[in-house]
Structure 1
């Protein structure tokens, strides 16, 4: 009798297709590697969110929870110091210089946006869905509507997507920092 090869455990089909390769981010003070960026069609990602910017990690986790899309991202200093190797918590602690935070947030946002767009456009009619969430906060109104299937009426586009800390902060009004993150970096 021939032995059948052991069956491989099932893997979520979107995981491999939505993970980006590493991106190097160079600032005036340091160099960073952005890796393991993923948006998967599952309620929660099994992979970490670790940018080294506490409030930013928290906001990405909120996208994870409320849009029911698994999101993952890791930022590592090139000297080998990974923000994920540090205590994994959503305390609003920032591990990097102010200038580096602004650069990292821009690159992470662009990479996640690219992965989210890919996930939305690969939707199939049989697996289409719309995620909706609205949450009034002290400093913002969060509204998120994601349509995960191309159709004739919306042409597969995200119909509406706003999520703090992105937005307009009036000059000299409100908070200048959230935790230790300066709000001027997200204007």
Structure 2
């Protein structure tokens, strides 16, 4: 496990991860819905995660959600790059009842996000707009290029959970070991 911490006036966060784990996790962000999504992310990426966040949730969940994405993404970047002996490219399409979300991914060390989920309003007490904030923080800080696109769906919980699972499965596939490829770039560096 490798660990990264970040403390601001708004949040105090510690994240530990094991890239090639078993999907074990211990997550407490202070935001119940985010905990549920990150537990699912850990399970389906097979990345072991320990996350603790103490945030100013008495204001709202924004800072905690975004800052967890920043710390998790930064730590993932530290363990991914320079990339060598992995697939690098991947995609997955995850169905959850009526919802279907696709994630196409390149572990390029060049961050870019296409986010096309039609989720607004609330899921329980959680502001659905924070999903985009999380993914933007996570993807950009992880230096991943990802397209997260809703193909269909109506239930916000299903759409969001399918998105987290599709990102998780795409990461699992992209980090799959492939020693034949060496450095997976014609530039000879990632």
Q: TM-score range, shorter-chain basis?
A: 0.5 to 0.7
Q: In the superposition, relative to structure 1, how do residues 55 and 77 fare at CA in structure 2: closer, same or farther (>3 Å)?
A: closer
Distance in 1 of aligned mates of 2:111 and 2:66: 22
- Scaled by the length of structure 1, what TM-score is found? 0.54
Equivalent of 2:9 in 1, 26, 48: 26
Distance in 2 of aligned mates of 1:159 and 1:185: 19
Distance in 1 of aligned mates of 2:104 and 2:45: 7
Equivalent of 2:47 in 66, 69, 86: 69
Q: How many residues align structurally?
A: 130
Distance in 2 of aligned mates of 1:144 and 1:161: 10
Instruction: Tell me the C-alpha RMSD between the 2 structures.
Output: 3.3
Q: What's the secondary structure of 1:72's corresponding residue?
A: strand
| Counterpart residue number, 2:17 | 39
Equivalent of 1:109 in 61, 69, 73: 69
Q: Unaligned regions of 5+ residues in structure 1, if any?
A: 1-14, 79-95, 148-155
Q: What's the secondary structure of 2:17's corresponding residue?
A: strand
- Give the number of the structure whose residues are more often helix, by fraction: 2
- Give the number of the structure whose residues are more often strand, by fraction: 2
Q: Which has the higher contact order (CA 8 A, sep 6+)?
A: 2
Distance in 2 of aligned mates of 1:110 and 1:77: 14
Q: In the superposition, relative to structure 1, how do residues 186 and 41 fare at CA in structure 2: closer, same or farther (>3 Å)?
A: closer
Considering only CA atoms, is the larger Rg found in Structure 1 or Structure 2?
1
| Counterpart residue number, 1:119 | 79
Q: What's the secondary structure of 2:30's corresponding residue?
A: coil
| Counterpart residue number, 1:87 | none
Map residues 120-135 of structure 1 onto 2, 5 A cutoff: 120-125=80-85, 128=86, 133-135=92-94
Offset at residue 70 of structure 1 (A): 1.6
Q: In the superposition, relative to structure 1, how do residues 46 and 145 fare at CA in structure 2: closer, same or farther (>3 Å)?
A: same
